Structures are given as C-alpha cells and as structure tokens.
Amino acid sequence: MNNNGTNPPSPTTPGIIGYRNLTDDEKALMNAVKAHAEHTKNLIDSIAAFQTREVEQFVANGDACAPDKQHLIQEGQRWRIRATDSLQLGYMELVRAIARPTSF
C-alpha cells in the first residue's frame, strides 16, 4: 500500500485506465517516436525563427506594407502552423498505434 492508502498498480494491472502495460520493445518504440517528435519540433522552431527574422527584415526595409510581401509571409506562417498541427496528430497516431488503448 502507498503512503496515501491506495494500492500501486500490479504488473498485470495498467496504471492508466484504458491502457495496458507495455512491453520493453513497445516502450523503446514509444521513446523513439517521442525523440523523433522532439527533433521535428526543433526543426519547426527553426522555421518559425526564420520567419520571424524575415518579418523583422521586411519591417526594417520598409516593405512591411507591401501587400504581396505580406501575403507571402502570411502564407508561409499558415503552412508552418498547419504542418505543426498535422505532425502533432501524426505523432499522436503513432503513439496510439504502439499503445493500442482500449478507451476512446
């Protein structure tokens, strides 16, 4: 029994409702997915930083009001945001493919 008076999960009882215990191979795969996701996040962060510098450069050059340049900047940001959402969803789906939860 734990200090709070509850029993810890047994090796045959998963610690999270709707999830089963994972094998060592499944845990390794999960960790690989999570590490890859962090690498992808770093790439997305680099793209966002590039886009920020691009905006700052346009403003510094007095081009910030040019509609064609505004459109190009906004379009690039929109696609980065969409890619972020899609990639997060993809990584979540990979995690679920490994964990195979029994709950919705």
pLDDT one-digit tens code per residue, 36-73: 999 999 999 999 999 999 888 888 888 766 778 888 88
Task: Report the number of distinct structural domains present in the chain.
Answer: 1
pLDDT at residue 87 is higher than 70: yes
pLDDT at residue 6 is higher than 60: no
Asked if residue 87 is part of any domain, the answer here is yes
Asked if residue 19 is part of any domain, the answer here is no
15-24, 35-44, 80-89, 95-104: segment of lowest average pLDDT: 15-24
Nearest CA to 80 out of 47, 49, 54 is that of 47
Asked if residue 38 is part of any domain, the answer here is yes
Asked if residue 32 is part of any domain, the answer here is yes
State the pLDDT at residue 7: 55
Asked if residue 92 is part of any domain, the answer here is yes
Euclidean distance between CA atoms 60 and 25, whole angstroms = 53
Asked if residue 5 is part of any domain, the answer here is no
Element (H, E) at 55: helix 24-60
State the pLDDT at residue 12: 53
Domain span at residue 36? 24-99
Asked if residue 79 is part of any domain, the answer here is yes
Asked if residue 50 is part of any domain, the answer here is yes
All residues at 6 or more sequence positions from 91 whose CB lies less than 8 Å from its CB, including other chains? 33, 34, 36, 37, 40
